[in-house]
Structure 1
Amino acid sequence: MRCAARVFALCALFLLGLAGCASPAGKPPPPATAADTLSAAPYRIGVDDVVQVSVWRNPELSVTVPVRPDGMISVPLVGDVQAGGHTPEEVAAAIQEKLSAYVRDPKVAVILTELRSHEFISRVRITGAVRNPTSLPYRQGMTVLDVVLAAGGINQFASPDQTMLYRKKGGGTESFHIHLGRMLDRGDLSTNYTLQPGDVVTVPERAF
C-alpha cells in the first residue's frame, strides 16, 4: 500500500509540473509585433543573377550559371529549370525532384553567388530632415537604421519620432510609423523595419 501511495504521489507531482509549464488555458499567443509584420520576404531569383547548383557527392552535376532572360537555368542531366521568380530553396527542390529520375536520393543546394537582377538594383530612398537625403541601391537585409546612417543621420530640424516608411502595395501605398528618436537615443529597435525595394523613408521637420 505504501508503495502504491508513493507512486500515486509521484504521478501527481509530475502532472502538476506539466500544468505549470503549459500556457494558461484560453489565453491566445502574444500578437506579432510590427517588426514581424514587416519582415522582408524571401529573396526571389531574377534575370542575370548567378546561381551555384551543388549536388552532394555528384560534383560532375554541379554547376554555376547565370539566369537567362527567360528565367531558366541549365542543369546537367535535367536540362532547363525555371529559376526566375523562385527562391533558391524552391529551385533546389525542383532540381532535386527532376534528378531523382537519374540519381538515387539526390541532395541539391542552390546558392546565389552574384545578385544582378532588377530586384537587387532597385533603390530605397530617404528624404526630409536628414543631413544628406539620398537614394541607395537596395540590399537584402537593409533596415531603416541603415538608410538613416547612410544619409548622415538626422539634422537639427528633425522630428524623428514622426518618421514614416512608405511602401507601394498593389495600386496603393502603405505607411508605417517609425519611432526614430527612440531608436537613436535609446536603442529601441522595435520599428527598425527591414526594407523592401522601392521603400521611401521620410523624416519630417519639427513644427516651430
Structure 2
Amino acid sequence: MFNKLIRFSLLFLASLAASLPALGASPAAQREYVLGAGDVIRISVFQNPDLATESRVSESGAITFPLIGSVEVGGKSVPAAERLIATRLREGGFVQQPQVSILPVVMKGNQVAVLGQVNRPGRYPLETFNLKVSDLLALAGGVAPPGGDTAVLVGFRDGQPIRQEIDIPTLFANGGETDVLLMGGDVLYVDRAPVAYIYGEVQRPGAFRLERNMSVMQGLATGGGPTLRGTVRGLNVHRREGDQLKVFEPGLEEILRPDDVIYVKESLF
C-alpha cells in the first residue's frame, strides 16, 4: 500500500511538471536575437580558451575569428551564428567537436524608430530581447501634449508586413498583455490627438483636444461656457460626413466626433 502511494505521488508530480510551462519559456525568452551591423559579440569555444575573442559586426555583416578568418553572421540568429562558426572550425580541422557560445555584449545592429507626437522622436537601438512599446515610449520621453491615445506599429513578422493599432492608455490595463514586443526595424508612430472646435458666444472660442467619449456639454465646458449674451438653446453642431456638411441641434449628451464644430448662439433676450 505504501509503495503504491509513492508511485501514485511520483506519477502525479511528473504529470504536473509536464503540464507546467518551461522555465523562461515566455514569448520574450523564445525570441532569438538577430545579429546586425554594429553589434559587439563575445565568442568562446568550450575547452579552447585561446579561441575566445570579442568582435564587432561590420557594416557588411562579417566578423573576424581566429583560424577561420571572416565569417558572415549579420542577419543570422545567435544559435545560427554559433552553428556556422562550429561548422567552419570542424570542417577546417581545427577543433573536432566544437561547442561555440556567442554572447551579445553591445546590441546596436537592430534599431527601432518612434515618430510623431513624442518628446524625443528618433531611432533607438534594440539593446534588450524584451523591449516593448511602453519601453520605447519611455525612451522617447513619453507622448507629447499634442499626442493622441493611439499609436500605430508597422514592421515585419516572419517575413510578412504588419500594421497594428495600439491603444496607449490600456497598455497596462490587462497586466501588460497588450504591450507588444518590438523587433528590429519596427516603426512606432504616435498621431496627433483629434480636435473639435467651439465658437460663437463662449468664453474661450477655438480648437480644443477631443477626449475619448467627450460630450457636447463637456466641449461647452472646455470653452468656458456661454458668455452673458450666449445661450445653449439652439446650440448647433457642424459635422462633416463624407462630402456633406451636416448641421443639427444636438442633445447636451451627444458624443462629439473629430473636427466637429460647436456653435453657441447669442440670446435674443
Band the TM-score falls in, shorter-chain normalisation: 0.5 to 0.7
Of 142, 154, 171, which residue of structure 2 is paired with 1:167?
154
Matched, 1:106 2:94: no
CA apart distance, 1:178:
3.4
* Structure label with greater radius of gyration: 2
Over residues 24-81 of structure 1, what are the superposed CA-to-partner deviations in whole Å (9 max), with x where a residue is unaligned?
A: xxxxxxxxxxx95x99952222234333221223222222233344433232223332
- Where do 1:2-41 residues align within 5 Å? 36=27, 41=31
Aligned-pair identity in percent equals 19
The change in CA–CA distance for 1:139 and 1:181 in structure 2 (over 3 A counts) is: same
Distance in 1 of aligned mates of 2:14 and 2:53: 50
Give the aligned partner of residue 187 of structure 2: 199
Q: CA deviation at 1:103?
A: 2.2
Report the Cα distance in structure 2 between the residues aligned to 1:21 and 1:62, rounded to whole angstroms.
40
1:138 maps to 125
Q: 1:11 to 1:154 in 2, by over 3 A?
A: same
Indicate the residue corresponding to 2:248 in structure 1: none
Q: Quick check: 1:50–1:64 contact (8 Å CA) kept in 2?
A: yes
Secondary structure of residue in 1 paired with 2:134: helix
In structure 2, the CA distance between the partners of 1:204 and 1:92, relative to structure 1 (3 Å rule), is same
Counterparts in 2 of 1:148 and 1:18: CA distance versus 1, 3 Å? same
2:37 is equivalent to residue 50 of structure 1: no
Root mean square deviation, CA, Å:
4.0
How many residues align? The count is: 183
Question: Which of residues 81, 99, 103 is equivalent to 2:71?
Answer: 81
SS of structure 1 residue aligned to 2:186: coil
Displacement of 1:158 in angstroms is: 6.6
Could you report, residue by residue, the CA deviation over 1:136-179 in whole angstroms, capped at 9, with x for unpaired residues? 4132342211233334445677764xx33321346854114335
- Which residue is equivalent to 1:32? none
In structure 1, what is the Cα distance between the partners aligned to 2:88 and 2:40?
Answer: 21
The separation in 1 between residues aligned to 2:15 and 2:46, in whole angstroms, is: 42
Distance 1:13 1:77, change over 3 A: closer
User: How far apart, in 1, do the equivalents of 2:162 and 2:38 lie?
Assistant: 29
Question: Which of structures 1 and 2 has the larger relative contact order (alpha carbons within 8 angstroms, sep 6+)?
Answer: 1
Query: Could you tell me how far 1:91 is from its partner in structure 2?
Result: 1.5
Which segments of 5 or more consecutive residues in structure 2 lack a partner in the other structure? 17-25, 194-210, 215-269
Structure 1 residue 92, shift from structure 2 partner: 1.6
Partner SS for 2:164 = strand
Residue pair 2:108, 2:126 contacting (<8 A) in 1 also: no
Question: Relative to total residues, which structure has the larger strand share, 1 or 2?
Answer: 2
Name the structure with the higher helix share. Answer: 1
